[in-house]
Structure formats: structure tokens, C-alpha cells
Structure 1
Amino acid sequence: MSHVTFQAMGTQVEIVIPQGLSASANVGHAVQRARNTVGQLEALLSRFRPDSDVSRVNSAPGRWVPVHPATVEVLRLARQSFEHTKGLFNPCLGHVLENIGYDVSFHRIADQPVVRVTDDASPFVAPLVCPFEIDAVKAEVLLYPGYKIDLGGIAKGWIVQQAALILRQQGISQFLFNAGGDMICCGTNGHRPWCVAIADPYGSHGSHVITLDVSDVAVATSGTYRRRWTQDGKTVHHILDPFLGVPVESDVVSCTVIHQDLVQAEVMAKVGLLLGSERGRRWLADESLAGWVLVLNTGEVIHAWNS
């Protein structure tokens, strides 16, 4: 079995290819191309890189900014998700994240003994419409003043999909491509399904609450238990209430969604967590997905599967 790991997008990325396929001569080349794709797209979409498309747009509110076509596509999907979820998924909360200390990549936050908070006394106003416009023909973006784009998980999911496409185009039909819990399980693991473990937020490192046997699906998990830090003596996290502009208080600490599309799974997982167990279950039940798993702050695990 070929197992390649590397750091990207603020997390550990792993590519696993079953034994037999991994001996193919072009596997190493395909994996390197996929890895290069991750790096190239992250350079466009990260808000932590001053020369990225996202940073250039954020630094020029109210002006049309030329961007790469890949950035246009991810912003189109983000806008579409904002509209589909009626603002529950909001890709323009970067200014709020900065204000609570998430103004550098997370590993740098963890290294800082004191989180610096930006001095921004302006009140949070939840947008009624997605606060940016796209000119797909000219490949330009206009961000409304008062907001900053943070593509976060939706960018990560899309990047993983593009890199996985590279592997498929190179003839690799069985692989696992995992970026910090957002993964594409292509085909099977040899003659067996892929076994995906859902982490236990309250257990020791490596412990899990449930395992899933899956094939030819995408899996995304959104949680409030990983990216946490201290601000003014309080523990905060990166999942924000899109209507209040503060870290969400939900009885769901982890939401996992299984779907054919990783971008959609990422959006649904975040919304399922934001809504809490009662409303979240009803919302997820109305979506076209293969299944979902909720881990509550009581430790209870709730799950459902569509046939």
C-alpha cells in the first residue's frame, strides 16, 4: 500500500492507494501532480497568504479585482451555498475570525501564548445577500465593504476534489484522499470498503465513536473541538454563528456528512452543526445525502443513512 502524507491547508493531508495499484509506475507521478495541485490552489484561496487571490480581494473592498478562474469557481460555489442555506453558510466572516484572534494560520495561534485581538468596535451586521459579486466573463470579484472572505472548508473540499480528479485522470481508480477529516473515498480499498473512523471529541487521541464502511463517496466533518484557542480568558473556536458573529453555541460538537460531492458535504456538515441536534437533524433529513453522524456535547451519537 502506498501512503503519502504532507502538510497543506493548515492540516495533514494523506493519500492512500491500495496494494497492487500502488506498484504501478505512474502512481508516484500522479501523486506528485495531485500534491502540486493542492499547493497551487491553496496559494490562490488561502486568506493567510498576502499574495493570494482571496487576500487581494479582501484588501480592496468596493473595487473589482481580477482573480484566477479557479477562484471564480470556488466563490461561485460559496455564493450558491450561501443562497441555498439562506445565509447559514457564510463565506464572508473573515473579519470576525480576525477579531477573535484567528488572523494567522491555526498552528501559529497554538504557538502564541497570548492571542492578539484586532481593535474593531464596529458592530456585526449579518448580510441579507452574499456580500460579493462575480464577473465570470472577466474573472473579477467585487467584495462589499465591511466584510472579508474566508473560504475555509469549502476551499479545502474543492481543492481535494481537484487533486483527486488528477489521480482519476491518471487511471488510479482506488484511493483515499484525506485532508484533516475531509476526504474522498474513491472505489474500494482493494476488495473491501474504505473504513472511516469518526473521532471521539472527548476521548484520547485516536479514539473514535463509530466507524463507517464506505466506497465511492465523500466524507466531511465539521467540529468545534479541534480549532480552539483562548481569547480574553475564554475558550473560543472557529465555527461562527453567521447571524450573531460569535462562536456558535450548539449542542452538536461534531457533524459528519457522507455525500457524493465533497464541497456539498462540507457545507452540510457545517450547517448541521450550526443548527444543533433538533433543527440540524430535520435539515439534514431534507437534503440529498447518503448519511450523517452527529456527536453531541453529552457524548451521545446520532446517525442516519439513506438507502
Structure 2
Amino acid sequence: MESFKFEAIGTLFEVRTPYPLGDGLEWALLNEAERFDWVWSRFRPDSLVAQMRANGGRWDLPAESSRLSAFYSRLYRVTDGGINPWVGSSLERLGYGPGYELVPVGAPEPAPAWDAQHLWQGAAVVLAHPAVLDVGAAGKGLLVDLFGAILEEAGHGEYLIDGSGDIRHAGSEPIRAALEHPYQPDEAIGVVELQNGALCASAGNRRTWGDGLHHLLDARTGAPVDTVVATWAMAEDAMTADGIATALFVRPGADLVDEFPAIEWLQVFSDGHAEGSPAFIEGLFT
């Protein structure tokens, strides 16, 4: 397999295909990554999201916003507000802001309600006052899907996209993916098989900056979750798998299946036990 590695949205991506991509297709992927970052990043001062932080009013977003906002609306509803796209202010209060200060400025604070004061519907955001939109729960998965669409449009029917743990696969042969141990990154707690779909993971040990501080918050409290330490989800597309992996930090997987019946899921808890669907449980090492 040919491999193309590059950095985008602050992390490492790898695209594997049976044949070389060529300079034109590599440029298309890099250009899409830059466009996506300019729209959705909380960390660059010229992004649309950064401008929302400074100004209220109406903001028109690109086409993928409709898909993303509809998905977030479902997550917001099924988690009773535990997943909330306006959680950015809560993250920044704990130090995870554009300057990477990593020093809390106060106690955890709940995210604003997703209401008429903070309206995101379709391809438009309308704010009564400045607010911090954060799509970290599903944004990287969406970018993986957008990369997949570029590859498919260029005629690549087989590929593997790995966005630092957010994986999308297309092809006639399945792959086996290891499930990283949440406390020992060089070890695995199991394996799972993936074919023509997406696998995404979330873990509190990935972005930590203090005692008990990490990026996976319950938006209802603004505090990092401490009962769940790692999650995985499989779905048809990476945006869904990414968002479900995040939602598993604030809601039992059995509850999420009622809203998303096609998913597979796994939760690992701080006391060491695991819960999940058969596709994951059967692959855990004993």
C-alpha cells in the first residue's frame, strides 16, 4: 500500500491506497484540510469560529455545516445536553483555549444551552452575543469523511484513512485494529475487525494538562468526566463514529443505540470493567 502522511487540524493523518495519489490529489487533501481548519478551528485567530467568539450576529457556514449541526442536534437530545456544541467556553475556562494556556481561570462552568440565544441550524449560526462553538466531538471524523469523498471522486475505491485514531476503511479485505490500553499506550486490550466503515476512539489520557483535567467534558457541568476512561465506536461513517465515541463519556451505550441502532460501541470505566456491543466485547483480551 502507498502511504501519504501529513499534519492537519493539529494532528497527524495517514492515507493508504493501493496506488500513489499523485501530486494533484495530495494537494486536494491538503487544501481541504486547510479550508476545514479555517472554518472550524478554535485555535487559529482567523477562523470563522474565532470570529464568532468575538462577535455576535449571523454567520453563514459551508455545506458540511448542515450535516454536522443535524448530527449534533441528535447528540444533544440523546445525551440530555451532555454533548453540546457550545462547550467551547467551558473548555477555555479550564485552560484549553487558543493560546494553550492550560491553566484554569475558574471552577468548571456548564456550557450555555443550545437555544434561541445560541442558534445553529443548517448552514447558519445566529448568536445574540459572542459564543465559542466547538465541534471537537465529531469534527475530526467529519474531516476523515470529507477526505474519503475526495478519494472516491478521484476513483480510489480502496483506501484507509487514519486521523490519529479516527479510521475510515473502504475495500474488499477487512482490517484488524488494536484497541489501545487507556493506561498503557504500548499495549492493547483487544482487537476489532473493520470493513467498509469507520472506527473512532476517545480517551481522557490523550489531551491532559493537570490533575483530572482533560478535554472530554460533560457539557451540563463543564467538568471532565472521570467515570469513563476510554471509548470506541464503529459506524458507517467517521463523523458518526467520532461523535458516538465522545457521547459514550456521558451516556451509556445502550441508550445511544435507541437513537443510532447501526452503531457498535465499547466503554471502559475507571474501575476497570468494560461494557459494549458484541463486536467489541468478543474481541477483548481476557
Measured against the shorter chain, the TM-score band is 0.7 to 0.9
Does the Cα contact within 8 Å between 1:93 and 1:147 map onto a contact in 2?
A: no
Q: Map 1:55-204 onto structure 2 (within 5 A).
A: 55-61=50-56, 63-71=57-65, 73-104=67-98, 109=100, 115-118=102-105, 124=110, 127=113, 129=115, 132-134=118-120, 140-145=124-129, 147-188=131-172, 192-203=173-184
The 5 A counterparts of 1:1-307 are 1-17=1-17, 21-22=18-19, 27-61=22-56, 63-71=57-65, 73-104=67-98, 109=100, 115-118=102-105, 124=110, 127=113, 129=115, 132-134=118-120, 140-145=124-129, 147-188=131-172, 192-203=173-184, 205-230=185-210, 234-250=211-227, 252-275=228-251, 280-286=252-258, 287-305=260-278
**3-state SS in 1 of match to 2:267:** strand
The size of the alignment, in residue pairs, is 278
Q: C-alpha distance in 2, partners of 1:300/1:130?
A: 40
TM-score normalized with structure 1 length: 0.80
Distance 1:140 1:260, change over 3 A: closer
Contact 1:220 1:265 (C-alpha < 8 Å) held by counterparts: yes
- In 1, distance between residues paired with 2:96 and 2:191? 32
- Deviations, residues 174-199 of structure 1 (Å, cap 9, x unaligned): 111111211211124xxx31121111
User: What is the RMSD of the two structures over their aligned residues, measured on CA atoms?
Assistant: 2.7
Identity level (%): 24
CA offsets per residue over residues 73-113 of structure 1, 9 Å max, x none?
Answer: 534443343234432221101111111110137xxx4xx7x
Question: C-alpha offsets along residues 3-24 of structure 1, whole Å, 9 cap, x if unaligned?
Answer: 222221222111112xxx325x
Name structure 1 gaps, 5 residues minimum: none
Cα-to-partner distance string for 1:52-91 (whole Å, 9 max, x where unaligned): 1111122113x12344444455344433432344322211
